[in-house]
């Protein structure tokens, strides 16, 4: 279907939106630049003085020249710990080594010695979860001081804490997914288990150390005086303990050897190539920044965003004249077939049923799903409730939750309440979830939350509120929702897999679809039921 755009790039409204988005993009770039510098200048200088590469330099040298690296959750822990833990002290992402995709999990020793905070664990585990889902080998670039001890109650004891990372590493190894560690620095306590549980281990002489208890712990525990190299250095572990398989003299030599180990791996993934010839969009992806209004209360046409993401700006809309607030379309991104679900306003019963049926069709035809979030939720009110919005929205949620095809989510604007659920929010485990700088995630908007809380306060008959008290309640609620629905608050807490620029969306989604499409399909798929 040929799409005719209603967007006028020379209009004042477009220019205002684009300017607002440019400011957001500049802020994102500034924050990404800040976190990718690593720890403090003093810690970076000390790291370099030891002859060690910075974490992203290691990644660059490991990956094939000229290939993409999809970094995940770059702004994890942003705004927390006085911003002293940039990127949560770890870099994760999918890179290409000898022509095959791999998951990279790399500690940044310039940030608290590579120690694990609560968000570090979440980011590490999320990378493992993606690797297991996509059948990717895991390469651990280890420079890790173990758990950050002041945070031990948020890092160590619970099911999804540090031990969960080791459990996943063991399970992936048992399933045939290679786990290979290259150790650059000191790995103490829990940090020692990352290489110890790997299938193959490389250590850099003079720098790498692996010990369950460092020299200070050994002295306290068993009254033994020993220096780090003797206790857990590369020579000892390669020639005596057998913990290490390969000893190298430089980081560059270690990275070259790691590349060779990857080249020697069998590939458990099915061979796959995009079934269509990729075509660039007719409409410029750069225009995405001018489409979404700077005022989140103003809607945009989801088709306009689709036309700048998909091949040839062409898509076949499903039920275009029914359930209009749900926009469902068959199309392709970088040659990969995909079914896209967007929304133009709140989803009414017809729209929810339409989306449920579309999801089932994609599931039957093995077409991946992409959800574009800009949703206040499902329709409310007497008419909506009598029309069955509760059961109809539940059908959409049910169909989405049980679809076995790959699922991607991109939060473009607001993603509120049950709308977040129906559009495959984080709780429904999309394979990848990214956000734009304009994203907002919360139970409801600040306006609605403030009105609800004011109504509840006014309903207190024992202590009727004064006008000043109501003003204070409203100010507190608005401040809370403004802070907690900010995209940097969300990405800091690993509620997404990273904030991306709108113009990058097509390439990021295309890379994710290519990775997901090569996942072997051993599922039995169900028929479509007209909802």
Model pTM? 0.83
Among 37, 135, 47, 50, CA closest to 91? 37
Q: Which residue has the tokens 């999801």?
A: 359
* Average pLDDT over all residues of the chain: 89
CA distance 122 to 137: 19
Question: What is the per-residue pLDDT for 268?
Answer: 61
Q: Is residue 361 over pLDDT 70?
A: yes
Task: For residues 246-256, give the mean pLDDT.
Answer: 95
Classify burial at 11, counting beta carbons within 10 Å of its beta carbon; exposed 0-12, middle 13-18, buried 19 or more: exposed
Task: For residues 508-528, give the mean pLDDT.
Answer: 75
Task: For residues 107-115, give the mean pLDDT.
Answer: 94
CA distance 138 to 172: 9
Which contiguous run of DSSP H or E holds residue 397?
helix 389-402
Question: What is the per-residue pLDDT for 215?
Answer: 80
Q: Which residue has the tokens 């040659």?
A: 335
CB contact at 8 A, 84 and 158: no
Identify the weakest region by mean pLDDT among 174-188, 283-297, 315-329.
283-297
Question: What is the per-residue pLDDT for 63?
Answer: 97
Question: What is the per-residue pLDDT for 365?
Answer: 76
DSSP sequence for 448-502: HHHHHHHHHHHT-SSSPPPHHHHHHHHHHHHHHHHHHTSHHHHHHTTSSS-B--G
Question: What is the per-residue pLDDT for 271?
Answer: 47
How sure is the predictor about 272, in pLDDT bands with cuts at 50, 70 and 90?
Answer: very low
Q: Is residue 458 over pLDDT 90?
A: no
Triad 193, 199, 205: Cα angle to 5° = 70
Question: What is the per-residue pLDDT for 165?
Answer: 94
Classified as helix, coil or strand, 292 is coil
The pair of structure tokens assigned to 364 is 């039957």
Question: What is the per-residue pLDDT for 265?
Answer: 81
* pLDDT, tens digit (0-9, with 9 covering 90-100), for 32-56: 999 999 999 999 999 999 999 999 9
């Amino acid at each position: 279907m040929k799409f005719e755009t209603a967007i006028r790039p020379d209009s004042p409204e477009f220019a205002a939106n684009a300017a607002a988005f440019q400011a957001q993009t500049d802020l994102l770039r500034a924050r990404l630049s800040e976190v990718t510098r690593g720890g403090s200048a003093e810690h970076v200088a000390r790291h370099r003085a030891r002859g060690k590469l910075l974490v992203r330099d290691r990644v660059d040298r490991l990956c094939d020249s000229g290939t993409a690296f999809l970094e995940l959750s770059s702004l994890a822990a942003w705004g927390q710990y006085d911003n002293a833990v940039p990127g949560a002290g770890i870099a994760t992402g999918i890179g290409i080594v000898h022509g095959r995709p791999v998951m990279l999990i790399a500690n940044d020793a310039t940030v608290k010695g590579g120690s694990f905070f609560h968000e570090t664990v979440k980011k590490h585990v999320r990378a493992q979860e993606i690797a297991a889902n996509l059948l990717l080998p895991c390469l651990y670039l280890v420079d890790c001081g173990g758990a950050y001890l002041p945070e031990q109650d948020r890092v160590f004891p619970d099911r999804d804490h540090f031990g969960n990372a080791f459990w996943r590493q063991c399970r992936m190894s048992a399933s045939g997914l290679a786990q290979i560690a290259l150790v650059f620095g000191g790995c103490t306590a829990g940090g020692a288990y990352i290489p110890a549980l790997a299938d193959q281990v490389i250590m850099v002489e003079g720098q790498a150390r692996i010990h369950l208890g460092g020299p200070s712990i050994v002295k306290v525990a068993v009254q033994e005086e020993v220096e780090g190299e003797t206790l857990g250095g590369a020579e000892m572990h390669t020639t005596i303990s057998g913990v290490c398989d390969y000893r190298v003299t430089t980081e560059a030599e270690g990275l070259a050897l790691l590349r060779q180990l990857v080249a020697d791996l069998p590939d458990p993934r099915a061979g796959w190539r995009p079934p269509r010839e990729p075509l660039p969009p007719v409409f410029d992806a750069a225009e995405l920044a001018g489409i979404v209004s700077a005022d989140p209360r103003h809607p945009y046409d989801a088709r306009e965003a689709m036309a700048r993401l998909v091949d040839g700006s062409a898509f076949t809309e499903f039920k275009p004249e029914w359930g209009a607030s749900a926009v469902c379309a068959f199309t392709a991104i970088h040659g990969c077939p995909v079914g896209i679900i967007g929304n133009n306003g709140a989803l009414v019963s017809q729209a929810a049923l339409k989306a449920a049926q579309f999801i089932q069709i994609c599931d039957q035809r093995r077409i991946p799903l992409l959800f574009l979030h800009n949703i206040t939720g499902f329709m409310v009110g007497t008419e909506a409730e009598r029309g069955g919005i509760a059961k109809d929205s539940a059908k959409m949620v049910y169909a989405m939750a049980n679809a076995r095809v790959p699922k991607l989510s991109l939060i473009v604007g607001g993603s509120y309440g049950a709308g977040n659920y129906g559009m495959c929010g984080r709780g429904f485990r999309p394979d990848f979830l990214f956000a734009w700088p304009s994203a907002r995630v919360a139970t409801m908007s600040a306006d609605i939350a403030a009105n609800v809380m004011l109504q509840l306060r006014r309903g207190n008959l024992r202590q009727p509120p004064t006008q000043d008290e109501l003003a204070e309640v409203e100010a507190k609620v608005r401040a809370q929702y403004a802070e907690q629905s900010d995209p940097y608050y969300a990405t800091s807490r690993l509620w997404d897999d990273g904030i991306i620029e709108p113009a990058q969306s097509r390439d990021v989604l295309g890379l994710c679809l290519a990775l997901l499409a090569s996942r072997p399909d051993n599922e039995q798929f169900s028929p479509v039921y007209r909802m």
